[in-house]
Chain A
Amino acid sequence: MTAVIGVTPGDAQRMASASAPPTGRVRRFVRLLAAERIKLLSTRSPWWCGAIVVALLVGLTALAAWFIEPGDGSPWWSISGIGTLPTAVVAVLGALAATGEYRTGTVRTTFLATPGRVCPLVAKAVVLAVAAAVLGWIASFAAWGLARVVAPQADLALAGSAQWRAVAGVGAVYAVVAVLAVAVGIALRHTGGAITLLMAWIFAGEPVLATLPRVGTDIAIWLPMRNLTRFLVVGVAEPDPRVRSSASGSTSVRGPRWGVRRRSRSSFWRSRSGCPGGATPDHRSGPLPDRGTPITLCDRRCSRSGGGVTPPFGRPTGADEDPYRNARVGRITSSQVGKMTDDHAPHWAEREDFLTHLE
């Protein structure tokens, strides 16, 4: 399947029909894949990066699993986002594989072997993607296995598609990150520059863009790392008497009297996340507000209540961090707000509508 990439549709068609012998271009591309595989595995840095990824993912997952209490709502919530932490190392792996060619001049030897300029680079991206996927699977299944050993009482079975996605999806996420890193490496052709850019993007660029006032929320839904995190996180709530589903598919979790917890209002997020377990109030919300005290509207400030660790990106941890999901409402009682949200459940996808209504 991989061999199809980088050849013309005609070639791919001919290759697809079993009777036709592989064409010259396909054969050459397969050769390039073999060459890139040898290149990748014959230096030490990919092995080191791989070892670090496995160690990080397995170690942190075990650590998180260690702190899972039997009463915690969703142990998956606690461990499922950890797979995004080592993406920085995967990015380094991909960038090194690409820039190393230019740094050492190996790329010219490559171009002597195959005069085409595109095919060797595509082959490199494909090989890195496959390697990163395999690495992700090894690391995530090992981490999952160890988590089950460390927290035998927690329900960490691969019960459904979300759970499978959280474990097997790590491979897909790493493959995407590796291809992005290879692309950056090829574009910059400079190891230091490529790694600096990637790290700056992961650790500074995305967090800053996502928290920009007013536009941050609109940008956030397009940020690759946040989306990859979103892809992995299992946020499906445990069955809870306080949870009910509305016709629109969003889930409303209403706390007893003092607050309103709602699912996200954008359909983009709806299928991906939810509040785990009992939606107890955020510990920072303080005591029960009196009548007329400003309260916090929060639909996803549940990370603490889930008892899990907080992934570095993507998952909101508080009002100050994710303005999209929180709105402070002054001079109104919580029960009033609760009433309104119930009234407006089908339209809750539009935050502005709701705020307008409040006003």
Chain B
Amino acid sequence: MTTIELTGLTKRFGEKLAVDGLTATVRPGAVTGFLGPNGSGKTTTMRMLLGLDAPTAGTARIGGRTYAELTDPMRTVGALLDPSWMHPNRSARAHLRWTAAAAGIPCARVDAVLELVGLAPVAGKPVRMFSLGMRQRLALAGALLGEPEVLVLDEPANGLDPAGIVWLRGHLQRQAAEGRTVLVSSHLLAETALTATELLVIGNGRLLAQGPTAEVLGGRARTVRVQAAAPEAFTAALRAAGHTVRGLPGERAVLVPEATTAQVGEIAARHGLALLELTAQPASLEETFMELTTDAAAEVAS
């Protein structure tokens, strides 16, 4: 069981504070989504976690030790930061072979991970012939080489085809189910929400929210989609109850933001109106996310 602990992690590049006093814990046994807009400090945080950048202040520890203190780092932490970190003229197998040799991982693992990510048929081809998705798979193979307890993946779904994304999602969830610690960064919220059971949201280098995905996203207001037999009367009833109603072009259904199905159903019952459709529409993740980050910005401003 290996936990990632960030304590007051700070990184300053000149004037810009890329990561600002980030304190968070990533627990084993769950896929933790690491969310934030572009330039919010996700990659910098991961680089500090992996010893590629020195923190200005604070610490990033894996199982109580910094990356440099790990005896066989690749057997403890599998990292995918940038799929371009490979020599274009080297074959996929050669890339993994030298990585395995440097990390003290038996050569047999090379073919095993190539098989696992589906690159076995092209293992002898130079990397320059690979698409972004194939490079991403190869980088992922490199991360999985040491059968690590902790996976740190920066935007692993980038460039993957749908089959690859489905496979990745399943694989990460299996890894977490086996008790491993999985930290996956992304700016694609929908994808993260499907994979991650925990979320870690940052903006401008600061922690915005942390907790189970349902809690972080579900605490937000939802939109109800409703279609009444008598739309005009029902719209009037909703407005009378203080709700806003948004019509949908070309449809008889309307949207009621910031309401629950229970509230809307009750109004319909009170007015004796028949409903043809009543569904809760989760606010789009993007909207929720914008809301989260805007809140944070407002907090900073005040």
> Is the A/B pair a real complex?
yes
8 more CB-based (< 8 A) A-B contacts, given A38-B97, A120-B102: A28-B104, A31-B102, A38-B94, A106-B86, A106-B87, A111-B52, A112-B74, A115-B70
Minimum CB–CB distance from A281 to chain B (whole Å) comes to 55
Minimum CB–CB distance from A140 to chain B (whole Å) comes to 28
Minimum CB–CB distance from B41 to chain A (whole Å) comes to 18
B interface, how many residues as a size bin?
20 to 34
The residues of A that contact B82 with a CB separation of less than 8 Å are 105, 108
Per the bound structure, the CA–CA distance linking A112 and B86 in Å amounts to 13
Chain A count of residues within 8 A CB distance of the other chain: 28
Is B8 located at the chain interface by the 8 A CB criterion?
Answer: no
Is A104 located at the chain interface by the 8 A CB criterion?
Answer: yes
B104 lies within 8 A of A108 (CB): no
B84 lies within 8 A of A113 (CB): no
Minimum CB–CB distance from A127 to chain B (whole Å) comes to 11
Minimum CB–CB distance from B300 to chain A (whole Å) comes to 32
The residues of B that contact A114 with a CB separation of less than 8 Å are 73, 102-103
Is B170 located at the chain interface by the 8 A CB criterion?
Answer: no
A112 lies within 8 A of B104 (CB): no
Which 9 A-B residue pairings sit nearest by Cβ, starting from the closest?
A: A35-B102, A42-B94, A105-B85, A113-B102, A38-B98, A35-B101, A113-B103, A115-B68, A34-B101
Minimum CB–CB distance from B108 to chain A (whole Å) comes to 15
The residues of A that contact B71 with a CB separation of less than 8 Å are 24
19 example contacts (A-B, Cβ-Cβ < 8 A) are as follows: A27-B104, A31-B101, A31-B104, A32-B102, A34-B101, A35-B101, A42-B91, A42-B95, A43-B90, A104-B88, A105-B84, A105-B86, A106-B85, A106-B86, A109-B86, A112-B73, A112-B79, A113-B102, A114-B73
B89 lies within 8 A of A112 (CB): no
Is B254 located at the chain interface by the 8 A CB criterion?
Answer: no
The residues of B that contact A106 with a CB separation of less than 8 Å are 85-87
Is B172 located at the chain interface by the 8 A CB criterion?
Answer: no
Per the bound structure, the CA–CA distance linking A6 and B51 in Å amounts to 21
Is B113 located at the chain interface by the 8 A CB criterion?
Answer: no
A35 lies within 8 A of B98 (CB): yes
B101 lies within 8 A of A38 (CB): yes
Is B67 located at the chain interface by the 8 A CB criterion?
Answer: yes
Minimum CB–CB distance from A7 to chain B (whole Å) comes to 16
Q: Quick one: closest B residue to A34, CB to CB?
A: B101
Is B151 located at the chain interface by the 8 A CB criterion?
Answer: no
Per the bound structure, the CA–CA distance linking A45 and B87 in Å amounts to 12
Minimum CB–CB distance from B67 to chain A (whole Å) comes to 6
Per the bound structure, the CA–CA distance linking A31 and B86 in Å amounts to 19
Is A244 located at the chain interface by the 8 A CB criterion?
Answer: no
Q: Quick one: closest A residue to B90, CB to CB?
A: A42
Per the bound structure, the CA–CA distance linking A104 and B79 in Å amounts to 17
A104 lies within 8 A of B85 (CB): yes
B101 lies within 8 A of A115 (CB): no
Is A39 located at the chain interface by the 8 A CB criterion?
Answer: yes
B91 lies within 8 A of A108 (CB): no
B101 lies within 8 A of A42 (CB): no
The residues of B that contact A39 with a CB separation of less than 8 Å are 87, 90, 98
A108 lies within 8 A of B98 (CB): no
Is A305 located at the chain interface by the 8 A CB criterion?
Answer: no
Contact partner of A115 (CB less than 8 A), chosen from B73, B85, B97, is B73
Per the bound structure, the CA–CA distance linking A210 and B167 in Å amounts to 65
